[in-house]
Structure 1
Amino acid sequence: MKAMSQKYSIGEVAKKLKMTPRAIRFYDQKNLVKPEFIGENSYRYYGEEQIQKLELINYLRQLDFSIKQIKELLSDQSGSDSLQLLFQKQIMENESKIDSLEQQQKQLRRLSKTIATQKIDSNNLVDIAQIMKKETRLTNLRKRMWLFSVGILLIEAIGIFSAYQFKQINSLVAMIISIVIMLVLVFGSTAFLTKYYYNQVKYVCPNCGTKFVPSLKTFIFSAHTPKFRKLECPHCHHKAYCLEITR
């Protein structure tokens, strides 16, 4: 014998779908969703099929569909295909919004950390605007550095490949020349990029908020992360991971 599926009162349905009983009665009056049956006490009872339909209607109403449009859509023979297209479109739009919000969250976290580290009064809109500009410039600078680094790796790969090819044909002189050229290009490019990056950035002491530029030697050999470098503040002489910002 088939077990009877669970039935829900109008109050239970409203709670389940986060709707009001009044809205559910309204959809009943408009012949959109009728209860599965009405009890002897005149209470309306809904099954899973009606709940799913109510959920769909509620969602379409949130998308500003009129009652008339919903009726036409549900009665249309190709209504399911239309809904599928609608849902796919909404999924893509939501994913785009999620990506945008995630980027905003990352920027807000960076700005919050920067403002806290630099001990800036959050009411000073000029300082905050300057920080936002510098954060954008620093992000773009790091992207360029990554591209340059890829270029250096490409030079290194070409040099190694060339040296290997010359070795295969027993051309020792050509192999040595290709290795020397590769090393000169790699070390020269690395030195140029290091100096270029050094000239673009400065650091903020987390202890006293002083902005300073370390010596090139200290810059090169100090421990660092993508956003911080371990330095000694020239003002308070506190050694810590200092936040990197653009000059």
Structure 2
Amino acid sequence: MSTFSTGEMASLGHVSVRTIQYWDKKGLLTPSTKGPSGRRIYDSSDVQRLKLILLFKNIGLSLSAIKEIVDGDNSVSTLKLLLTERQDSLRDQISADRSQLAEVDSLIKSLPSLDNLSLNSIDDMNSIMDNKKALKKVHIHLILFGLPLSVLEIGSIIYSIVIRSWWPFVIWVLIDIIGAGFLSRYYFNSTEYVCPNCQFQFRPTFWQSFWAPHTFATRKLTCPNCGQKNYCVEVYGVSSE
């Protein structure tokens, strides 16, 4: 059975030796055995785990989320779902780009004779320009409305300090709570989740989603179909309210 040193693992993963040591310290990539002098000795199963860690890391997950997923029974299924979502997103973007390019080419050819350019062509191009993945739109809306709330909250703190009264801050906190509630409700009514074990797509309750550990693309939920608790992949879902 092949074994690998810390340096060899670092070389295989194209990371530094210090990174491998750090992942060991965090319990993310612990060596199968250790030599008499405490030297780390990894085997082929550790290499497979390293591959999963690197793939999840490239997708953008945090180390703590990666550890929970790879320690579970459905790490490969979760990865497959995440990559499939990314694949679909890229295909949609490529399709939109191709359509947009065709419209631009048509417009360029029509410019010498603008009279021949139909209003439908302009409408189609505008539609393509605005064609973004629905889930990405939800995230953008959250940022656009959530960021001003945070900025104004900081401003209310500064203003309260300047006038030596906490009433402006208290009032804004109440407004902020209401605003955050509306944003949260909008977000959870616009998203659903896919179980990596049985591929079932479902919408959890608001509070189940609210308290569940999550990453930017997954949330740890119990599937109502198979009953397993996994990091389920977030997808766009039409609001039922």
**RCO greater where, 1 or 2, for CA within 8 Å and sep 6 or more?**
2
Which TM bucket (shorter chain)?
0.3 to 0.5
Which is greater in Rg?
1
- Using structure 2 for the length normalisation, give the TM-score: 0.45
- Using structure 1 for the length normalisation, give the TM-score: 0.44
